[in-house]
C-alpha cells in the first residue's frame, strides 16, 4: 500500500516540470498557432542557467535564486527567438514553422555546447528540502513534495493571470479569435512577444526545477519534447488545465507503467494517448478549432517531371560508376538511399498533405527489421531486404491508424510521439536490439560487397521507388488523396473515405521508407537507434523542404543538396548551427524549396 502511494507521489512530482513546459508550449500555440519545437531548448537553457547561478552563489541562496533567474533568462531568449525568427513565419505553412523552430533547436544545441561544454552536470539537492519524510512507512523526498505543490500553485497563478488581468483577457481573446482581437486594436506583435516570453519562462522554470532530480545534459531538450507533445495533445492544445491533467495522467502512467513494463514506459503513455484521441480527438479539455483548419492548399505549382527527364537521369546514373571514384560512388549511394526516404515523405506531405515528424520510425523499422533477421536468424540479404519494407508497412499501418484521425500539427506531433516509442523500444530492449550498441556486422552478400554492384542494387531500388511513388501520385489513388487534402468535406461528400485514403498513403510512404532503411543497413553494415531519432525524421523533412514539397523530384534534389551540405559542414565544429541557419534561410526566403524557386521567379516576372 505504502509503496504504491509513494509511487503515486513520485508520479505527481514528475508531473510538475512536465506541466510547466507543456503549459508554456500550449500557451504559445493557443495564441500564435506555432508549435514550438525549441521549447525543449528553453527548458534545457533554464536548467543550465540554474546550475550556473548555484555555482556562483553557492547552494544557499543560489538554488532559490536560480529558479527566477532561469525563468527570466529563458524568457529573454524566447523573446529574442520570437522577434528574430518566428515573427517572420507566422503566415507560413505549419511545416515551415515546425522546421524553423527545429532549426533553432540545432543552433541552441551548438550554443549550449559552446557555453557549458559536453559533460553532464549534476545539481545539488535543494537546500532546506534535502531530507525525506516518512509517509505510510515509505521515505518520500521533501523536494518531491515541493514539486507536487508547484503544479497546482502554477496552475492557480496562471488562472489568476488569465482571469484577473488585462493581459490575460487579451491572451484569451487572441486564443479564441485572432482576427477579432486584432480588429479590437490589440497590438498583436507585442502580445505575441509577451506570450512567447511567458511560455519560454515557464519552460526555463521547469528546467531549473528538475536540477535537483536529474542530470543536466545536452540531450535533455529533445528528450522532454516528445513527452511534452504527448501531454499537450492529450490535454488539448491551448488548454492549460488540460495540460495539468494530462501531465498527471502521463506521469502516473509512467510511474506505474515502470512496474509493469520497465523497458518501455513510453508505450504505456502512447497507449493512453491513443485511447484519449480515439474518444476525444482534440484532447481531454481541448476544443475543435473554431474555424476549420486551413488545408495546406495548392503549392506553388504542381510541377511534374516528364518521363523524358526521368529517363535522362536514369541514363546518367547508369554510366556514372564508370567515371566516379570510390568516394563519389559511396556518396551517391547515400544520396539514393536518403532520396528514397525523402521521396516517401514527399508523397506523404505533398499529395497527402500530412506532415510527419516521425518518418524515421519507418526507415528505422525497415533497417532494424533487416538487421534483426540477419543477426538473430542468420537470414540472407535477399530475405532481409524483403522483410524491411514489410516490417515498415506493418508499423505504418499500426501507427497510421491513429495518426490519420488527426490533421495538421496534431498529426505531426502524434507521428513524432510514435517514432519516439519505436526509438525507446530500440534503445531499451537490449536483448533484442543491442540497445545503444546497435547491431553490427550486417554485411551484404559477396555479390554486392563490391561498391559498384551495390550501387546498381541501390539504383534499381531507387527506380522502383520512383515508379511506385510517381504512379501513386498520378493514379486515382493519389488524386483522391489530393482531393482529401484540398477539401476533406467535399471529398467525403463525393464518396471518398478520407481517413482510409490517408491511412493507405501513410502505409505506402512507410513501406518505401522501410525499403530505404533496409538498404541503409547493408550499406553501413550496422544499425543504431539514431536511425529512429528525431534528428533522422527532421533530416528527411529538411530534404523535402530544400527540394520543394510539391514535386517528387524535389526530394531527390533535396537529398543531394543535404548530403553534399552535410559533407561540407561536417568539417566545421558548428555544423549543426550551419545546417540550422540554412533551414531558417530556406523557410523564410524560399518556401517552395529549390524546385519551387523557378516557378517563384517566373511568377515574379509575370506579375
Partner 1 sequence: MSALLQVEDLAKSFGGVAAVAGVGFHVNAGERLALIGPNGAGKTTCFNLLNGQLRADRGKVVLDGRNITGRKPRQIVRLGIGRTFQIARSFLSMTVAEAVETALDAATRHTLSFRRAPDASVRIGELLEQVGLQEQANRSVTELPYGDVKRLDLAMALSSSPRLLFMDEPTAGMAAADRALLMDQVSRIVERSGLAVLFTEHDMEAVFGHADRVIVMARGQLIAEGTVEEIRRDPEVRRVYLGRTEGAEAHG
Q: Which of 468, 271, 454, 475 is nearest to 389 (CA)?
A: 468
- Contact between 177 and partner 1 (CB under 8 A)? no
Determine, following the binding rule CB under 8 A, whether residue 407 of this chain makes contact with partner 1: no
Instruction: State which residue, 87 or 405, has the beta carbon closest to partner 1.
Output: 405
Interface characters, 68-97, with partner 1 (x: CB under 8 A) = ------------------------------
Which residue stretch of 138-146, 201-209, 364-372, 469-477 sits at the interface with partner 1 (rule: CB under 8 A)?
A: 469-477
Please identify which residue in the block is written with the cell numbers 510539391: 550
Of 493, 604, 605, 606, the one binding partner 1 (CB under 8 A) is 493
Site for partner 1 in 298-357 (CB under 8 A): 298-299, 302
- Closest approach of partner 1 to the CB of residue 482, in Å: 6
Binds partner 1 (CB under 8 A): choice among 167, 443, 456, 477: 477
> Which of 133, 153, 157, 489: binder of partner 1 (CB under 8 A)?
489
SS3 state of residue 550: coil
Residues constituting the chain: 607
Cβ atoms within 10 A of the Cβ of 463, count? Answer: 16
Of 479 and 603, CB closest to partner 1: 479
Cell numbers placing 451: 561498391
Residues with Cβ < 8 Å from 263, sequence gap 6 or more?
Answer: 425, 428, 429
| 464 lies in the site for partner 1, by CB under 8 A | no
Out of 292, 297, 312, 380, name the contact with partner 1 by CB under 8 A.
297
CB of 474 to partner 1, least distance (A): 9
> What is the DSSP track for 150-180?
HHHHHHHHHHHHHHHSHHHHHHHHHHH-HHH
Which cell numbers in the block locate residue 593? Answer: 524549396
Sequence-separated (6 or more) residues with CB below 8 Å from residue 60: 127, 128
Rounded to 5°, angle at Cα 256 from 253 and 262: 105
Single out the residue of 354, 288, 289, 363 nearest to residue 539, CA to CA.
363
Rounded Cα–Cα distance for residues 40 and 272 (Å) = 22
Please give the distance of CA 29 from its chain centroid, rounded to a whole number: 16
- Structural contact between residues 4 and 11, judged by C-beta atoms closer than 8 angstroms: no
Tell me, by CB under 8 A, how many residues bind partner 1.
26
- Closest Cα to residue 238, out of 203, 212, 277, 199? 199
388 contacts partner 1 (rule: CB under 8 A): no
Task: Considering the complex, state which of residue 353 and residue 434 has its C-beta at the smaller distance from partner 1.
Answer: 353
- Is 176 an interacting residue with respect to partner 1 (CB under 8 A)? no
Going residue by residue from 239 to 278, which x/- string records binding to partner 1, judged by CB under 8 A? ----------------------------------------
Instruction: Judge contact between 243 and 26, C-beta under 8 A.
Output: yes
Listed ranges 14-22, 114-122, 456-464, 497-505: which one lies at the site for partner 1 (CB under 8 A): 497-505
Among 92, 161, 487, 582, binds partner 1 (CB under 8 A): 487
Query: What's the min distance (Å) between Cβ of 354 and partner 1?
Result: 15
CB closer to partner 1 out of 138 and 486:
486
If one asks whether residue 294 binds partner 1 (CB under 8 A), the answer comes out as no
Residue 275 CB partners (closer than 8 Å, separation 6+): none
> DSSP state, 133?
E
- Candidate segments 149-157, 291-299, 433-441, 518-526, binder of partner 1 by CB under 8 A: 291-299
Nearest Cα to 158, choosing from 286, 44, 19, 37?
19
Residue 33 vs 485, nearer CB to partner 1: 485
Q: How far is the CB of 177 from partner 1 (least distance, A)?
A: 17
479 binds partner 1 (CB under 8 A): yes
- Rounded to the nearest whole angstrom, what is the least distance from the CB of residue 488 to partner 1 in the complex? 10
Task: Give the chain's count of helices (H) and strands (E).
Answer: 25, 4
Sign for the pseudo-dihedral over CA of 38, 217, 412, 236 = negative
501 lines the binding site for partner 1 (CB under 8 A): yes
Per CB under 8 A, residues contacting partner 1 are: 297-299, 302, 471-472, 475-477, 479-480, 482-483, 486-487, 489-497, 501, 504
Amino acid at each position: 500500500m505504502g509503496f504504491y502511494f509513494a509511487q503515486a507521489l513520485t508520479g505527481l512530482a514528475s508531473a510538475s516540470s512536465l506541466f510547466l513546459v507543456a503549459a508554456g508550449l500550449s500557451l504559445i500555440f493557443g495564441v500564435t498557432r506555432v508549435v514550438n519545437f525549441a521549447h525543449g531548448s528553453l527548458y534545457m537553457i533554464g536548467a543550465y542557467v540554474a546550475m550556473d547561478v548555484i555555482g556562483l552563489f553557492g547552494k544557499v541562496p543560489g538554488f532559490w535564486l536560480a529558479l527566477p533567474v532561469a525563468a527570466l533568462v529563458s524568457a529573454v531568449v524566447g523573446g529574442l527567438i520570437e522577434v528574430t525568427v518566428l515573427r517572420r513565419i507566422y503566415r507560413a505553412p505549419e511545416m515551415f514553422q515546425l522546421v524553423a523552430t527545429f532549426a533553432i533547436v540545432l543552433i541552441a544545441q551548438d550554443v549550449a555546447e559552446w557555453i557549458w561544454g559536453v559533460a553532464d552536470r549534476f545539481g545539488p539537492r535543494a537546500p532546506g528540502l534535502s531530507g525525506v519524510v516518512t509517509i505510510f512507512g515509505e521515505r518520500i523526498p521533501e523536494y518531491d513534495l515541493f514539486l507536487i505543490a508547484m503544479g497546482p500553485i502554477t496552475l492557480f497563478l496562471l488562472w489568476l493571470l488569465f482571469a484577473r488581468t488585462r493581459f490575460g483577457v487579451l491572451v484569451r481573446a487572441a486564443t479564441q479569435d485572432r482576427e477579432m482581437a486584432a480588429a479590437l486594436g490589440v497590438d498583436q506583435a507585442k502580445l505575441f512577444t509577451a506570450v512567447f516570453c511567458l511560455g519560454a519562462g515557464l519552460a526555463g522554470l521547469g528546467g531549473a526545477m528538475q536540477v535537483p532530480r536529474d542530470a543536466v545534459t545536452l540531450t535533455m531538450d529533445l528528450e522532454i519534447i516528445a513527452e511534452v507533445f504527448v501531454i499537450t495533445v492529450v490535454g488539448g492544445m491551448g488548454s492549460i488545465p488540460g495540460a495539468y491533467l494530462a501531465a498527471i495522467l502521463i506521469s502516473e502512467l509512467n510511474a506505474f507503467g515502470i512496474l509493469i513494463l520497465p523497458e518501455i514506459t513510453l508505450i504505456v503513455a502512447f497507449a493512453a494517448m491513443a485511447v484519449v484521441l480515439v474518444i476525444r480527438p482534440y484532447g481531454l479539455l481541448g476544443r475543435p478549432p473554431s474555424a476549420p483548419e486551413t488545408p495546406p492548399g495548392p503549392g506553388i505549382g504542381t510541377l511534374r517531371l516528364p518521363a523524358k527527364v526521368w529517363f535522362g537521369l536514369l541514363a546518367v546514373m547508369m554510366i556514372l560508376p564508370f567515371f566516379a571514384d570510390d568516394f563519389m560512388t559511396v556518396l551517391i549511394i547515400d544520396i539514393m538511399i536518403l532520396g528514397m526516404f525523402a521521396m516517401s515523405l514527399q508523397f506523404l506531405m505533398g499529395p497527402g498533405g500530412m506532415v510527419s515528424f516521425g518518418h524515421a520510425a519507418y526507415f528505422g523499422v525497415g533497417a532494424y527489421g533487416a538487421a534483426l533477421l540477419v543477426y538473430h536468424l542468420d537470414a540472407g540479404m535477399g530475405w532481409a531486404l524483403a522483410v524491411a519494407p514489410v516490417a515498415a508497412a506493418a508499423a505504418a499501418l499500426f501507427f497510421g491508424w491513429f495518426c490519420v484521425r488527426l490533421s495538421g500539427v496534431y498529426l505531426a506531433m502524434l507521428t513524432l510521439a510514435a517514432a519516439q516509442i519505436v526509438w525507446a523500444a530500440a534503445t531499451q530492449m537490449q536483448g533484442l536490439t543491442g540497445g545503444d550498441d546497435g547491431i553490427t556486422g550486417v554485411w551484404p552478400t559477396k555479390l554486392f560487397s563490391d561498391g559498384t554492384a551495390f550501387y546498381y542494387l541501390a539504383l534499381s531500388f531507387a527506380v522502383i521507388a520512383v515508379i511506385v511513388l510517381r504512379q501513386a501520385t498520378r493514379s486515382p489513388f493519389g488524386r483522391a488523396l489530393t482531393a482529401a487534402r484540398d477539401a476533406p468535406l467535399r471529398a467525403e461528400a463525393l464518396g471518398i473515405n478520407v481517413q482510409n485514403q490517408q491511412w493507405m498513403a501513410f502505409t505506402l510512404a512507410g513501406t518505401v521508407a522501410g525499403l530505404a532503411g533496409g538498404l541503409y543497413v547493408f550499406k553501413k553494415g550496422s544499425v543504431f537507434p539514431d536511425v529512429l531519432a528525431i534528428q533522422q525524421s527532421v533530416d528527411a523533412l529538411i530534404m523535402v523542404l530544400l527540394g520543394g514539397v510539391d514535386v517528387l523530384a524535389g526530394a531527390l534534389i533535396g537529398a543531394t543538396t543535404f548530403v553534399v551540405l552535410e559533407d561540407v559542414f561536417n568539417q566545421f565544429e558548428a555544423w549543426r548551427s550551419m545546417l540550422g541557419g540554412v533551414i531558417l534561410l530556406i523557410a523564410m526566403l524560399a518556401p517552395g524549396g529549390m524546385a519551387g524557386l523557378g516557378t517563384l521567379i517566373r511568377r515574379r516576372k509575370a506579375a
